[in-house]
Amino acid sequence: MLSPLLLLPLLAIMILNLPIRSLTQKLSVWVGVGLSLWQIVAVILLATGRGCTDTWGKFFTLGLSCDNLTLVLLMSIGIVTLTTILVGWQTIGGDKQRFGFMNLVFVAMIGMNGTVMLTDLFSLYIFIEVTAVASFILIAYQRDTNALEGAFKYIILSATATVMMLLSISIMLLVVGDTSFAAVGSAVKQSQGNPLVMFAVGIFICGLLIKGGVVPFHGWLPAAYSAAPAAASVLLAGIATKTSGIYALIRLTTSVFANNESVNSVLLLAGTISILVGAFAAIGQSDFKKMLAYSSISQVGYIILALGCGTNLAIIGAVFHLFNHSIFKSLLFVNSAAVETQSGTTDMNKLGGLGTKMPVTNATSLIAFLSTAGVPPLAGFWSKLIIVIALWQNGLHTYATIAVLASVLTLAYLLLMQRRVFFGKVADGLANVKEAGWGITVAASILATITVGVGVLFPWMFNSVLMPISSFLK
Amino acid sequence: MTNELPQVFWLFSIGAILLLITGFYCLIMTYNLVRALIGLEILTKSVTLFIILAGYVTGRMALAQALAITLIIIEVVVIAVAVGIVLCVYKNIKSIDGRLLRNIKG
Amino acid sequence: MNDSFILLPIAIPFIAGLVVLLISQRIQSVKEAIALLATAATLGLTITLYGENINFSIPWTGFGIDFALRLYHFSAFILVAASAFSFLFVLYSCSFMRDKPYLNQFYSYLLITLAMANGAVLSDNLVLMLFFWEGLMLTMFGMIAIGRPGAYKTAIKAFIIVGGTDLCLMLGIGIAGHLAGTMTISKISLPVDFLGSLAFVFMMIGAISKAGSVPFHTWIPDAAVDAPLPFMAFLPASLEKLLGIYLLARISLDMFKLTAGSWISILLMTIGAITILLAVMMALVQKDYKRLLAYHAISQVGYMILGIGTCLPIGIIGGLFHMINHALYKSCLFLTGGAVEKQTGTTDLAKLGGIGIKMPVTFVCFLIAAASISGVPPFNGFYSKELVYDAALERGTIFYLAAILGTFLTAASFLKLGHAAFLGKRSEQNDNVRETSLPMLVPMIVIAAVCIVFGVWNYLPLNDLIKPILGEERLAGYEFSPNTMLITITVIVLVGALLHHLFAAKVNGSGYKASDHIRHAPFLEVIYTKAEKRWFDPYDIGLKIVQGTSRLGWWIDRGIDWLYEDFAVQVAKGLSSIIKLAHTGSYSMYVVWSLIGVLFVVIMLMKSF
């Protein structure tokens, strides 16, 4: 069940690029929708006990494995990819353009699926790079100068991250002789206190923090998220950063670099700074998408903070917040796509009063921002609550208080955004704005339903779905 | 793993470390986009050297070679994409001065 | 029958309510059909489930808060009653609410209220019951607010009063749960020591305010005028009494071991007596049909509280019997009021008169219901009041006197109402009044018939419905023989009321002015005038006090405002601009940041060496 997740997109790319272009161009979107739906179904099948074994592994020795953390990520990847395809269907015109877009999305899917399923440091790096390359091209897809600027900054910083990760891998090769998670993990545990190993660990983590967009390694993030075209932002913000940066960090700090105190304190500090810098920067923004980008930085800070705490409950909170964040951040970006395509601008000073003209976008945006701010009974509230409780239980009272206070900040800037864009008087020149096309509204509704559903059903989900996530923390 | 290995490694890697520093310097200091890409290339090569060195010193040349080849392929792709972006930038603003690419501030 | 059928009385009306909300305003008959079907289905279901004992529990959130439901004879009885009433009222509303605005909200609120009420009655867990109780508050607000433009003020008043007492209920539940160690109602049985009595009083406040007793009653007369009439028949007349007295009975009988002679019992009886008298005095002088009925609804609750407060089996049975009787006759009265309103267009007693001949069926139902409420034998009100008198007399003559005085005044005011509305001279504009339509008549007739049945064959409800609630042990050794002395006194009082009315009508000129001499009696006039200016309304007094203190707090507020709004905002904006300045947009700066970050991380990691 696992190799198809990697191989089917590859197969799709190969088949779609056969010489019968004219036929396949029209089919590409359907294939994309089918693949992402299949991914969601596959995750559900895997989760309900069909076993995480690689039945095709006899033919392709890919060395895939999956546990509960992987399942959560695969589910997010499936959902966000589906959303991206729906948004792309709506916003990208022209068969040829759409075809190119779909190919890139398939490449990104391969990259992300591979990142979460493989158990080797170098393979991790390879698939992170695959995702990154797909993202570069996606960001620069429409070739306007701002997008190119964003893509270029991402490339440069991604290259820096590459350098750090590879440096670390070479040192691991030196000390351990192998790059698989198991080998590196045991070596790190044994050589507890070897400065070289700690240096390698630190450098690798820095590389991942750059990829994940954690302060102070976040420079590329506002530019890339805000300049990318609508569908690419959804993919990038929703899942690409999360998989390449944050998932890898979770996997490594829990199993490979195992609960090291200094690593934890680094993460705590980085997380807190991210939360604060992201929140404060977001308050003063006048560009809709840049505010969402800084909000991403802030929310990722929460995840890193929880990682730094290190207990079972904290890791569960981090993973749950990861899932929630991919859902509600994608939703926010889908709505920004709706606003952008319908009104032609993302400058909040020029927008206003769109709530009456775009009711679905208004409602889903309300749900998304309430979830981000952590308002019960939506999903974001529960994950933040778990994180704060875990922090408090561990004795990290100051960090817990900062996390709670930052929620107030989050609520503030998101409320400002909602008010400026959706409520109030209709701004000049926006009188003819209609609701966005069906692709965007369907995607937004699906994501909003998931947020509300997860939030409301949380009490029942807690013991059955969430607690087992920590089973990967052996 | 004996304790001498790291020391031998670091001795041999002085060249690679110098390349690393050069690469970063180039990347940071230049305004020219193409030169920034060259700096990126230099960085990549230095890291490749590190991997080869690690393989040489520990005797696992086969693994190191495999890693190095994969690395080169990936970097080629990345650089190709980067060059493509630089070309588009040139088409748009007729210049490859990185200081003109500071529009997304704040 | 599967145990989870117990969820259906909650689920069916709730889903139907949501469906009705979603259907557009224009397809009226579909909404009515759905509402009718849903309530009929619930009624059929509750009748089928009656007599079974079902316990249903699934874990909900942790900490002992389970989704626990329990069906036993008491809750089944209330369930059947609530569903039956809703079915009849939906039938009534099909005709009455035609062409009124906000129809889809009305039906959906009605259905959701039924669902919440069923849930509250069925729930076996205190927190779950609170959840449903609060849901009722919301739908009540909605139902009042859609009545007339400007009705939302009354809705807000109702919301605040009921909400405030709900907080007391919450507090009581918290203390009770803490004392008992569990939140499951059927497992709680607490002695009435200091904390226990505190919990009891808080929960009692919540229960009696829901039922509508003094001093939490002031929203009901206002709602009578502002809200749509089926709401009045549904909630204050029947459902709220059922729920409030149900909760009061549960906490007096099951949860706390109340004994006759304790101070709580005296407290309850006093509240009951005051409610009876206060409300009926106000009712006597009302000039609007609906307001008069509303005040009577408040007054009759006093009887129920008095009955339960005596803590004697006979009194408790009387109180519970009175609960169901009151639901029957009061809703019938409101329905007749609605019929009058619909046919004549007004409920002002000065403008009505002489329509008894024109609306014979309505008039007969009114007569039956009015006789029941006054306690005329052989209708049902008489029997339940007799039981309450018996118990009250045993506990204290003053309570008995209060109750009997209440009966006198009740009879007087209904004589006045009947005379003013249905008898007497008919004004011209009422000449063309006809009998109302069939969907409105059927519920009235059905309820009036049940009043008669519960009266004449009163052992049926007493033995099958009410006595099992108390259980065998408490009833052991008690006889229910009618006390002839009491009956005689009652009959004398009723005849006296009749005579008083005839005399007063003659003196004052018309039936409608029959209570004017009381209104203008020397001592009472002052009180009545002040009451009409709302001096005694605790809600209004509370509002004025709140306004006064808020003036005072305003100045303190200014200072804190500055701190939060100006200072904090400036700080946030300052930090924000610093961060924005730092992001220069140049990629090389970002790479430098990353390298500095790497340096810090490495230093932190290698610190221990």
Distance between CA atoms of A66 and A403, rounded to whole angstroms? 31
Q: Decide: A232 and A104 in contact? Cβ < 8 Å.
A: no
- How high is the pLDDT of residue A453? 86
Residue whose token pair is 């692709």: A439
Q: Describe chain C by its helix, strand, coil percentages, rounded to 5.
A: 75, 5, 20
Asked if B57's CB is within 8 angstroms of A126's CB, the reply is no
Helices (H), C423-483: 438-456, 459-461, 467-470, 472-475
Contacts of A314 (CB under 8 A, 6+ apart): A306, A307, A386, A387, A390, A391, A394
Closest Cα in chain C, distance from residue B69 (Å): 26
Instruction: Domain ranges for chain B, please list them.
Output: 4-95
Name the interface residues of C facing A (CB cutoff 8 Å): 60-62, 572-573, 575-577, 579-580, 583, 585, 587, 589-591, 593-598, 601-602, 604-609
End-to-end CA distance of chain C: 72
Which band of pLDDT confidence, cut at 50, 70 and 90, is reported for residue B68? very high
This complex has an ipTM of 0.92
- How high is the pLDDT of residue C508? 63
Residue C257 has φ and ψ, to the nearest 5°, of: -90, 90
Please give the C-alpha separations between residue A201 and each of A168, A249, A281, A442, in angstroms, as whole numbers. Answer: 7, 11, 30, 43
Q: List all residues of chain B from 75 to 104 with a beta carbon under 8 Å from chain C.
A: 98-99, 101-104
Residues in C closer than 8 angstroms to B33, CB to CB, are: none
Instruction: Domain ranges for chain C, please list them.
Output: 1-257, 259-517, 545-605
Distance between CA atoms of B71 and B56, rounded to whole angstroms? 17
Q: Decide: A26 and A96 in contact? Cβ < 8 Å.
A: no
Asked if C605's CB is within 8 angstroms of A219's CB, the reply is no
Q: Which of C125, C576, C606 to mutate to test the interface with A (most CBs of A within 10 A)?
A: C576
- How high is the pLDDT of residue C515? 61
By CB atoms closer than 10 A (0-12, 13-18, 19+), residue C82 is: buried
Nearest residue of C to residue B21, measured between CA atoms = C595
- How high is the pLDDT of residue A50? 60
Q: Is A120 helix (H, G, I), strand (E, B) or coil?
A: strand
**What's the domain range around A315?**
3-472
Q: Decide: C236 and C297 in contact? Cβ < 8 Å.
A: yes
End-to-end CA distance of chain A: 24
Per-residue pLDDT of chain A (474 residues; tens, 9 = 90+): 677 777 888 888 888 887 777 777 777 888 888 888 888 888 887 777 665 555 555 556 666 777 778 888 888 899 999 999 999 888 887 888 888 899 999 999 999 998 988 888 888 899 999 999 999 999 999 888 889 999 999 999 999 999 999 999 988 888 887 778 888 888 888 877 678 888 888 899 999 999 998 988 888 999 899 889 888 999 998 888 888 889 998 888 877 776 677 888 889 999 999 999 999 888 888 888 899 999 999 999 999 999 888 788 888 889 889 999 999 999 999 998 888 888 888 888 888 778 777 888 888 888 888 888 888 778 888 889 889 988 888 888 888 888 888 888 888 888 888 888 888 777 776 777 777 778 888 888 889 988 888 888 887 777 777 667 666 665
Please give the C-alpha separations between residue C408 and each of C375, C399, C531, in angstroms, as whole numbers. Answer: 10, 14, 22
Chains in contact with A, where contact means 3 or more Cβ–Cβ distances below 8 Å, are B, C
Q: Decide: C208 and C248 in contact? Cβ < 8 Å.
A: yes
Neighbouring C-beta atoms of residue A468, cutoff 10 Å: 14
Out of C581, C583, C587, whose CB is closest to B98? C587
Distance between CA atoms of C462 and C321, rounded to whole angstroms? 7
Asked if B63's CB is within 8 angstroms of A178's CB, the reply is yes
Asked if B81's CB is within 8 angstroms of A148's CB, the reply is no
**E strand residue ranges, A141-221:** none
- Among A218, A220, A412, smallest CA distance to C573 is for A412
Asked if B77's CB is within 8 angstroms of A152's CB, the reply is no
For chain C, 609 residues long, the average pLDDT of each consecutive 10-residue run is 70 80 68 78 78 70 67 79 83 74 74 85 81 82 75 77 82 79 70 75 84 80 78 78 84 72 80 84 79 85 85 80 86 84 76 76 85 81 82 80 83 80 70 72 83 76 68 56 70 76 68 62 66 64 71 71 72 85 84 90 77
Q: Cβ of B3 under 8 Å from any chain C Cβ? A: no
Q: List all residues of chain A from 139 to 178 with a beta carbon under 8 Å from chain B.
A: 140, 143-146, 148-152, 155-156, 158-160, 162-163, 166-167, 169-171, 173-178
Give the CATH number of domain B4-95: 1.10.287.3510
Residues in B closer than 8 angstroms to A286, CB to CB, are: none
Give C148-182 as a DSSP string: STTHHHHHHHHHHHHHHHHHHHHHHHHHHHHHHS-
- How high is the pLDDT of residue B1? 46
Helix (H) or strand (E) segment spanning residue C65: none
Distance between CA atoms of C43 and C49, rounded to whole angstroms? 10
- How high is the pLDDT of residue A121? 86
Count of structural domains, chain A? 1
- How high is the pLDDT of residue A152? 92
Q: Cβ of C573 under 8 Å from any chain B Cβ? A: no
Helix (H) or strand (E) segment spanning residue A63: none
Enter the DSSP assignment of A436.
Answer: P
